[in-house]
Structure 1
């Protein structure tokens, strides 16, 4: 088991961090930046196999990138597109994988492995999908929606053109100002069935990989939050002393650091399991969301509180990290559901 990044992974991290250094989450989603991210760095095709035009990297490399995009609070559909790429690697489709790898198409994904009430019927060789998805991440920016649907032969993954007939997208007011969501209503929307249904096992693995990918982003949010408040504690003076010299602040920062160290070990292990030990992935993925999701929120919350009055101002970035942490914590379900899943896997 390797919990330390190799040289290539460290270089990837440095490259992505340098690219993101000049960006501000306050600027919102900028298509030209997203195009450069996928074009110059080729990140949209990072985990897509080489036969489809991707880099053929593993989840460890994707986790490195997501940690950096999380630390920068990168606005836009990068996470949604990465999750869709993960789903497509489990239920391969040459056309979609190639388009995503080349950056020509942006995809998003509905809850997996069976978290939607969509149903489908076949007519003239097409899948006609009906149903409602209350919240789909970055549905407004995406071109294609990947969603699990119920069929006569089980659960299948269907690709739906979000600009096609029978699709209605309604933007939602979200807590996280850097990541949009939309309600998607499908009324006889045309879709294409991917893979060879039933795909329950493949979608279950995709769900586990989602958990690891999201935990990597949360790790980045934790790291950036801790770095910000440590830097502030070194320069902020109260009652003639730097606030970092007060025992209450030092102890809180130490607690936050411990949570970060534990989270990093969990994420590195889960990413390693995804690439090298698939049998350990379900437990590792459940652990990642059971621990990292809550720890990320607690670190972001405390970093906001320790900033004092400035942390509560709209002009400061502290509230953006706080909101991203809370939105991420429940994106794949609240931590209690992952704890229950982990307990079931361990037969506790």
Structure 2
């Protein structure tokens, strides 16, 4: 019996926070790829050349390893895995701040399409493209949009599917070939698929804090879209995608924090003062020990969220809110400690520490701030103010 079929009076199964052998094998494959093609020097070189994302790396990650279709059932052309496996991929991407649109395309866009009628060709065809890594898709909502906080659509749709409006701060829109647009139609909200290169679509690149996750404003001026879903189904598909994205973003934040802690321990063990490694000084030991405890707790929170999403737990929304409220500040704190404990070199462009701080700060606002998730958690567990 799955978690989705349990009666409401039945206790929720304990979450499985451990990694399976298959998940460990997936981690090894992804880590090996990223170590070979996305080391800090490579990422920095890409940023200096104004390349929005690494197409060769994305092709290898999405198609050669097959991570693009992890969340897609096998009968629809995917790998038939779950949020647990996708979380492992995002942990490794966080450890390398790789400039690839995995969260936006393989998680959020895929989950949006899975919430539509996948038996329709209008949905099945783009879903297959995303699953195979042939297409990069993006849900056209502002990056800070939180689960449960989807505003009224800023885009309007005519009866013939012509879209008009503007959406700001869309992550990875510059890399997208397919835009999933929630619009207000004549009969209520509706979800449309729009080619990024279609007439009437304009993409305006903006300079983000985190250069490894580009942002852009999207303007639609009579662009034609294919109807994917309408009414409550369209809004529910978007809400589920944002919840899944926020829950798995916690795993990326965990990866950021893990790299920062590991790099700080390595550096302080090698750098010496007064004939001793600075990492042997008690004050620094205490700071790194405290950070280790926070990272370990973040791992538990992120794994709980991934497991809850994978099993369809009725507590998934609670698990996601807890994970985001906790993991986001931990990633920022770990990145700040990494820079401070590296001393002067940590402040330089040549050292990759600033990439992790920028990703951590960007992730802290993405898909809802920690405060927004704490507020949501209070409501979910009945602690809302009267």
Q: 1:168 aligns with which of 191, 202, 210?
A: 202
Any idea what the Cα deviations from partners look like across 1:61-109, whole Å, max 9, x if unmatched? 0001111111111113222112211222222420111111122211111
State the alpha-carbon separation in 2 of the partners of residues 285 and 240 from structure 1.
Answer: 47
Shift, 1:206, TM fit: 2.0
Q: 2:154 aligns with which of 89, 100, 118?
A: 118
Aligned to 2:62: 38
Aligned to 1:128: 162
State the alpha-carbon separation in 2 of the partners of residues 284 and 345 from structure 1.
Answer: 10
State the alpha-carbon separation in 2 of the partners of residues 134 and 324 from structure 1.
Answer: 19
Q: 2:252 aligns with which of 207, 214, 217?
A: 217
Aligned to 1:20: 34
TM-score, structure 1 as length reference: 0.95
| Partner secondary structure for residue 157 of structure 2 | strand
Aligned to 2:7: none
State the alpha-carbon separation in 1 of the partners of residues 213 and 61 from structure 2.
Answer: 17
Aligned to 2:75: 51
State the alpha-carbon separation in 1 of the partners of residues 96 and 84 from structure 2.
Answer: 19
Aligned to 2:125: 95
State the alpha-carbon separation in 2 of the partners of residues 221 and 147 from structure 1.
Answer: 30
1:7/1:297 CA distance change after superposition, 3 Å: same
Report if the CA contact (8 A) 1:110-1:133 is conserved.
yes
Aligned to 2:327: 292
- Unpaired runs of at least 5, structure 2: 1-14, 47-52
1:71 aligns with 2:101: no
Report if the CA contact (8 A) 2:161-2:224 is conserved.
yes
1:116/1:228 CA distance change after superposition, 3 Å: farther
State the alpha-carbon separation in 2 of the partners of residues 109 and 203 from structure 1.
Answer: 8
Which stretch of structure 1 is more off in the superposition, 187-196 or 175-184? 187-196
Shift, 1:147, TM fit: 2.5
> How many residue pairs are counted as aligned between the two chains?
346
State the alpha-carbon separation in 1 of the partners of residues 152 and 253 from structure 2.
Answer: 25
Aligned to 1:3: 17
Report if the CA contact (8 A) 2:153-2:189 is conserved.
no
Which stretch of structure 1 is more off in the superposition, 146-155 or 184-193? 146-155
Any idea what the Cα deviations from partners look like across 1:137-190, whole Å, max 9, x if unmatched? 111111011122223444332212111111111111111121211111111221
Report if the CA contact (8 A) 2:182-2:190 is conserved.
yes
State the alpha-carbon separation in 2 of the partners of residues 213 and 87 from structure 1.
Answer: 15
1:18/1:276 CA distance change after superposition, 3 Å: same
TM-score, structure 2 as length reference: 0.86
Report if the CA contact (8 A) 2:72-2:79 is conserved.
yes
Report if the CA contact (8 A) 1:120-1:127 is conserved.
no
Report if the CA contact (8 A) 1:146-1:158 is conserved.
yes
Report if the CA contact (8 A) 2:98-2:212 is conserved.
yes
Superposition pairs for residues 235-274 of structure 1, below 5 Å? Answer: 235-274=270-309
State the alpha-carbon separation in 2 of the partners of residues 170 and 3 from structure 1.
Answer: 41
| Partner secondary structure for residue 180 of structure 2 | strand
Report if the CA contact (8 A) 2:191-2:230 is conserved.
no
1:128/1:268 CA distance change after superposition, 3 Å: same
Shift, 1:117, TM fit: 3.5
Report if the CA contact (8 A) 2:203-2:216 is conserved.
yes
